[in-house]
Amino acid sequence: MSYLLRTALRSSRAAGSFARPLSHRAFFATEGNVTKPRPWVKQPAPELGPPPELEGPVPRGVKLGTHRMEIDATGDKGRLYTLIRDSCKCSICVNPHSKQRNFRTTDIPDNITPRSIEWVEDKLEIKWSNDIKGYDASHTSTYDPATLRSPWAIARGSDIGRNRHRVDWNNEQMDTIQHWISYNDYINDDAKFATAMRQLALTGLIFVRDIPESREMVEKVATRMGPLRNTFYGSTWDVRTVPEAKNVAYTNAFLGFHMDLMYMNEPPGYQLLHCLQNSCDGGESLFVDGFRVAKEMAKKNPDGYNKLAKVWLNYEYNHKEHTYNNQWPVFEMEHGHLVHVNYSPPFQGPMHQMHLSGHVPRENFAALREFAEALEKEENTFELKLNPGECAIFENRRVLHARRQFNTSSGSRWLAGAYVDEDAVISRFKVCRNSQMHAWRTYPQWMHVEMGRRRSLRESS
């Protein structure tokens, strides 16, 4: 399979499993690696073969073959001429305004070869023989070796991508590193907003305070990050006690650790909970860093960790008006990195039929139990009672949230919620990084802060 075809077939998540019919998805798989996209199988590079004739000399650091070339500066062997041609971003190939391509990959003749190659300062300039129909001899492709090495608009391992470095936290650490930003700064100060986004990228949990008292505000806070994610709950929604609640979130009982909308094919990446009223007894919010608990497990019990990368759970929302059903591995991996934790017990559905061979190793349950117990350890859970005017923003597929029971006879409780998709927030991270480089790069202040500053962080700017 060609490089490009493989790239196209790798969806952004768990492609291997989605390429197969549902019945073949290996829930509780005992073999195979269903949660990782297909590994990027690198074939040993074939012999370069006789090189094409060039108009000038072959420049330093470049070796030419019949169909491919090696460029030392990219640290990579044998790139096909067709793929190098495909990467051209000159103003003929890519519209400088729309940034849309003016050619198709399939327009590139299979027998395309370089006609001349030269380094111009630190860029490689290539002119082509057998170029795409309609291109004249003046067409020049210019490549920066750094871009050839990493052509992605959002590099996976960068500080914004899904594989980004994260700062794991337990209760004590979140007590120290929690980030509070005033609504005014969040909305009006681009540098402070970028710092908040950087904190969100690192820890998956930040707080906005001093929000004007209005039901409209959660939308304002959310849309600073990206468009609202609409669902059957509405583009924003309320958590209040209602009679005959269909969803356990609308009752006043203890609501255990969960993630929202795991029964959807695209569970929202980020969630906001804006507190409008919380005068009742109880109703504290709890948060736990699923990534930290997962990574602890990877250290203590790698075998159990690997099992949970293959254990799929079934999630459902099954009502008359709306029925949703999707399945996810507990630890979702991409290129060997954890990119999502998927775990939401209140929304699980039956799974006895999911493994068609009928054999589910008991050890998988042991691994799941170990993870679930670690999640709920007091040392791992960060608890606070949101006050009116405060909003928690958290990464829905990393940070699990829970709520203590509350007594509405003693007061009222009202949170307004919203979701923003992961793609949109990652895009916002990138914009913040590019436009507020200093704020983004400045090492978080909490690295130097003493423990136990929660109240003062809330109160000070």
Query: What angle is formed at CA 108 by the lines to CA 105 and CA 112, rounded to 5 degrees?
Result: 140
Pairing assessment for the beta strands 180-182 and 205-209 based on DSSP bridges: parallel
Q: What is the spatial distance between Cα 403 and Cα 95, in angstroms, rounded to a whole number?
A: 50
Do 445 and 169 contact (CB within 8 A), yes or no?
A: no
Neighbours of 205 (CB within 10 A): 23
Question: Least distance in Å: CB of 66 to Zn ion?
Answer: 22
Question: Least distance in Å: CB of 89 to Zn ion?
Answer: 7
Segment 410 to 449, residues that bind Zn ion, using CB under 5 A: none
**Token pair 């914004």 is at which residue?**
160
Do 23 and 349 contact (CB within 8 A), yes or no?
A: no
Q: Which stretch binds Zn ion (CB under 5 A): 6-14, 32-40, 67-75, 83-91?
A: 83-91
Question: Least distance in Å: CB of 84 to Zn ion?
Answer: 11
Which member of 73, 93, 351, 372 binds Zn ion (CB under 5 A)? Answer: 93
Query: Per-residue contact track with Zn ion, 29 to 68, x per CB under 5 A?
Result: ----------------------------------------
Beta strands in 309-460 (DSSP E): 312-318, 323-329, 331-334, 337-341, 381-384, 391-395, 399-403, 406-407, 413-420
Do 77 and 70 contact (CB within 8 A), yes or no?
A: yes
Do 170 and 289 contact (CB within 8 A), yes or no?
A: yes
Consecutive H or E run containing 70: strand 68-71
Q: Which is closer to Zn ion, CB of 13 or CB of 85?
A: 85
Nearest to 231 by CA among 95, 145, 304, 322: 322
Question: Least distance in Å: CB of 107 to Zn ion?
Answer: 12
Do 273 and 417 contact (CB within 8 A), yes or no?
A: yes
Q: Which is closer to Zn ion, CB of 93 or CB of 191?
A: 93
Question: Least distance in Å: CB of 83 to Zn ion?
Answer: 14
Which member of 62, 88, 262, 424 binds Zn ion (CB under 5 A)? Answer: 88
Contacts with Zn ion by CB under 5 A: the residue count is 4
Question: Least distance in Å: CB of 4 to Zn ion?
Answer: 17
Question: Least distance in Å: CB of 93 to Zn ion?
Answer: 3
Which member of 90, 120, 146, 437 binds Zn ion (CB under 5 A)? Answer: 90
Query: Per-residue contact track with Zn ion, 121 to 150, x per CB under 5 A?
Result: --------------------x---------
167 binds Zn ion (CB under 5 A): no
Q: Which is closer to Zn ion, CB of 141 or CB of 327?
A: 141
Both tokens of 207, joined, read 């707080």
- Residues lying near Zn ion in the complex (CB under 5 A): 88, 90, 93, 141
